[in-house]
């Protein structure tokens, strides 16, 4: 469908719009994404260059267009939980995002209890029935609710998302909940 914004063919125009909204000239974004010239940026925006996820993500990072990074993940199918991005207008108010997060957490808690009961009734030789997709969807809703809160805190309160991710990673490594490094995984399998 040509009018569908979730289409790779529309990505160059979206990139142009985001660049302009960020107040960047073509030569400026070219420098910020890796020393590219104005001609290269023009070629990207006019669909003359092949887009890669890496290029698109770097472009949107420079523009602080977080939802558009989610769009790249969705369009290029970079992760199985990648879904259509949240409307940036919903990510402007941190107070509204917190209220939404609390609501989503409450609904997800109930859905998790239903899912636990469903799983408890699952026995070998006796299936519990079809997956409770409504409950699973309610739990999945925590992903965009979390992003909405994080993005609104970045925009309104100066949260540095990469710093937050780095802090989480350091703590996860210390707590041994992060995936083991490649060397450690190899040592386990030998």
According to the model, what pLDDT value does residue 143 have?
96
C-alpha 66/C-alpha 60 separation (Å) is 7
**What domains, with CATH codes, occur in the chain?**
8-75 (1.10.260.40), 88-189 (no CATH)
Let me know: does 44 contact 12? Beta carbons within 8 Å.
yes
Model pLDDT for residues 69-118, shown as the tens digit of each residue: 999 999 999 999 999 999 888 888 999 999 999 999 999 999 999 999 99
Residue of 88, 102, 57, 82 lying closest to 154 (CA atoms): 88
According to the model, what pLDDT value does residue 127 have?
73
Low-confidence ranges of the chain (pLDDT < 50): 1, 185, 187
According to the model, what pLDDT value does residue 189 have?
52
pTM of the model: 0.82
Token output for 183? 């060397």
Q: How far apart, in Å, are the Cα atoms of 185 and each of 9, 134, 179?
A: 40, 36, 9
Q: How far apart, in Å, are the Cα atoms of 165 and each of 2, 70, 87, 96, 162?
A: 36, 16, 22, 23, 5
């Amino acid at each position: 469908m040509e009018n569908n914004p979730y289409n790779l063919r529309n990505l160059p125009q979206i990139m142009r719009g985001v660049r302009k909204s960020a107040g960047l000239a073509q030569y400026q974004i070219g420098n910020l994404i890796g020393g590219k010239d104005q001609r290269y940026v023009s070629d990207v925006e006019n669909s003359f260059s092949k887009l890669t996820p890496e290029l698109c993500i770097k472009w949107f990072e420079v523009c602080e267009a977080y939802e558009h990074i989610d769009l790249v993940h969705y369009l290029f199918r970079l992760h199985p939980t990648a879904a259509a991005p949240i409307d940036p207008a919903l990510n402007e108010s941190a107070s509204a995002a917190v209220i939404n997060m609390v609501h989503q957490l409450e609904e997800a808690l109930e859905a998790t209890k239903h899912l636990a009961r469903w799983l408890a009734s699952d026995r070998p030789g006796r299936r519990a029935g079809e997956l409770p997709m409504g409950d699973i969807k309610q739990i999945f809703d925590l992903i965009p609710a979390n992003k909405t809160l994080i993005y609104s805190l970045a925009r309104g309160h100066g949260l540095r998302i990469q710093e937050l991710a780095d802090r989480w990673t350091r703590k996860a490594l210390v707590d041994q909940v992060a995936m083991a490094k490649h060397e450690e995984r190899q040592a386990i399998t030998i």
